[in-house]
Amino acid sequence: MARITVFGAGYVGLVTAACLAELGNEVAVRDVVPAKIERLRGGEVPIFEPGLEELLAKNRERLTFTLDAAEAVEGTEFIFVCVDTPPLYSGDADLSRVWTVVDELPRVNGNPILILKSTVPVGTGEKVRAVLDQRGLTHVGYASNPEFTAEGRAVQDFLHPDRVVIGAFDPTDAERVAELYANVDGPVVQMDVPSAEMVKLASNAFLMTRISFINEIANVCEATGADVVRVAEGVGLDHRLGPHFLRAGVGWGGSCFPKDSLALKQLAANSGYHFQLLNAVIEVNELQKRRVIGKLQRHLGRLRDKEIALLGLAFKAGTDDTREAPSLVLASRLMAEGANLRVWDPIVDGEQLLPQATKCATVQEAVRGADAAVIVTEWRELRDLARPEIRELMARPLIIDGRNLLDPNETRSAGFAYEGMGRPVSLMDVLPETAEREPELEA
């Protein structure tokens, strides 16, 4: 069993630490935010990630939390770097936190390996290697070991990964890192450092491409009367294509896709290549987030003073993360149109996020008096939204389903006007009073 250090107590760092401890290792987690370390020491988990709290509690004896880098690396064999790499104004990844770890890495004995898990541009490993050498830390090995865990299922993804990718300059380092994953249920692939760095960026870009692709198909479905849910089902059965990441909706968000798409776009541009396809993938997503506005206008006319219930703020279900969430774009567009927002999310505290919106503790409260309810996050709690109680609470029984969570026929039979994303629109869905109430729309 190894002695491991993890720099960064965010989503990636805490999941990495908890899972490595679960595998029997001694793990020291270091972060620079005192409040975070304090809470972790007290057994509190500062983020919501299913299974994480239990895993940290179960392995408490093998985990320590500290603000002190020297203490964290004492006797260490592996140093995982799990700090965030947010986008700079230019779109490039901000590596300042990675450099802080590398530049301030205390003197260490033995032959520890620095393992970069954070998502970084291709070429970063070579630069880190050079800086370690300049600092006289030639005895410190280096490996790139990108993380592929998705929020909401990160623990499961870590312990049962599709693959573990390890890029190293020295095959011995690669072997030692591979040993750490010996009891993890998934294949380990070893390669050179730049390729490992690119696997991460390419995988995320491919997933985003699939989503933007199905969203464009959805938009064509809307124009032609096809149903994207059935289309995705039919397409996904081709084993060469597969069923994953073909859910049409309000577009992708989160802490990874938006920043990684920009980072790859800028990486290509900085190297003199115009990544045309990726640019289109990003643009399609920007437009997709706004499509709900057009749907609402079609039903309600002008949105000024309309009461709109936004159901779900997190960028996807199973997480409290709202970074680059489509809900935020939607909310600001709706407010710009003069609508009044009533927001509900089972985990996210909307108070600070959207100060101008009315925060609602329950779905019922959110839809009370609403002219429309918009499903923004595919929360389980919304699956039975189309029930009489909800219909009676609403001023107009209109559901815009940004995640295709509901069954259109059942929803219509329950007395709602319904519009999904890329699904046939029924003439019955246009609320009859809309045209009379908003004659200016015709002009």
Instruction: Enumerate the active-site residues.
Output: 256
Work out whether 253 is an interface residue with ligand UGA (CB under 6 A): yes
**Member of 254, 408, 420, 422 binding ligand UGA (CB under 6 A):** 254
Choose between 211 and 405: whose C-beta lies nearer to ligand UGA.
Answer: 211
**Member of 246, 263, 329, 330 binding ligand UGA (CB under 6 A):** 246
- Least distance from ligand UGA to the Cβ atom of residue 147, Å: 5
Per-position b or e across 45-56, b if 16+ CB within 10 A of its CB: bebbbebbbebb
Work out whether 245 is an interface residue with ligand UGA (CB under 6 A): yes
Choose between 202 and 430: whose C-beta lies nearer to ligand UGA.
Answer: 202
Give the C-alpha distances (Å, rounded to integers) separating 122 from 29, 115, 206. Answer: 26, 15, 17
Choose between 55 and 82: whose C-beta lies nearer to ligand UGA.
Answer: 82
* Count of residues that interact with ligand UGA, criterion CB under 6 A: 21
Q: What's the CA gap between 210 and 295, in Å, rounded?
A: 23
What is the DSSP annotation of 33-97?
-HHHHHHHHTT--SS--TTHHHHHHHTGGGEEEES-HHHHHTT-SEEEE-----B-TTSSB--HH
Work out whether 2 is an interface residue with ligand UGA (CB under 6 A): no
**Member of 112, 121, 249, 312 binding ligand UGA (CB under 6 A):** 249
Reported as half-sphere exposure (CB side, CA atoms, 13 A), residue 2 has a value of: 24
By CB under 6 A, the residues from 109 to 128 that bind ligand UGA are 119
Choose between 143 and 393: whose C-beta lies nearer to ligand UGA.
Answer: 143
- Cβ-in-10-Å burial (0-12, 13-18, 19+) of 237 comes to exposed
- Least distance from ligand UGA to the Cβ atom of residue 49, Å: 10
Per CB under 6 A, the segment of 72-80, 217-225, 245-253, 291-299 that binds ligand UGA is 245-253
Work out whether 247 is an interface residue with ligand UGA (CB under 6 A): yes
Work out whether 48 is an interface residue with ligand UGA (CB under 6 A): no
**Member of 7, 65, 80, 252 binding ligand UGA (CB under 6 A):** 252
Work out whether 307 is an interface residue with ligand UGA (CB under 6 A): no
Per CB under 6 A, the segment of 27-35, 176-184, 250-258, 434-442 that binds ligand UGA is 250-258
Dihedral-angle region of residue 7 (phi above 0 means left; psi in -120 to 50 means alpha; beta otherwise): beta
Choose between 153 and 333: whose C-beta lies nearer to ligand UGA.
Answer: 153
Would you give the end-to-end CA distance of the chain in angstroms? Answer: 74
Choose between 85 and 340: whose C-beta lies nearer to ligand UGA.
Answer: 85
Work out whether 204 is an interface residue with ligand UGA (CB under 6 A): yes
The residues that bridge with 66 in the sheet, in sequence order, are 30
Can you tell me whether residue 273 is helix, strand or coil?
Answer: coil
Strand ranges across the sheet with 372-375: 358-359, 340-344, 307-311, 372-375, 398-401, 417-419
**Member of 315, 379, 416, 418 binding ligand UGA (CB under 6 A):** 315
Given a contact cutoff of 8 angstroms between Cβ atoms, the answer to whether 288 and 250 are in contact is yes
Sign, Cα dihedral of 203, 207, 210, 216: negative
Q: What's the CA gap between 320 and 348, in Å, rounded?
A: 5
Mask 141-170, x = binds ligand UGA (CB under 6 A)?
A: ------xxxxx-------------------
Given a contact cutoff of 8 angstroms between Cβ atoms, the answer to whether 124 and 98 are in contact is yes
By CB under 6 A, the residues from 205 to 244 that bind ligand UGA are 207, 211
**Member of 4, 69, 115, 256 binding ligand UGA (CB under 6 A):** 256
List own/partner pairs for 95-102 with CB under 8 A and 24 or more apart.
95/120, 95/121, 95/124, 97/8, 98/124, 98/128, 99/131, 101/7, 102/128, 102/131, 102/132
- Least distance from ligand UGA to the Cβ atom of residue 178, Å: 19
Can you tell me whether residue 357 is helix, strand or coil?
Answer: coil
Task: Return residues touching ligand UGA (CB under 6 A).
Answer: 119, 147-151, 204, 207, 211, 245-247, 249, 252-254, 256-257, 260, 315-316
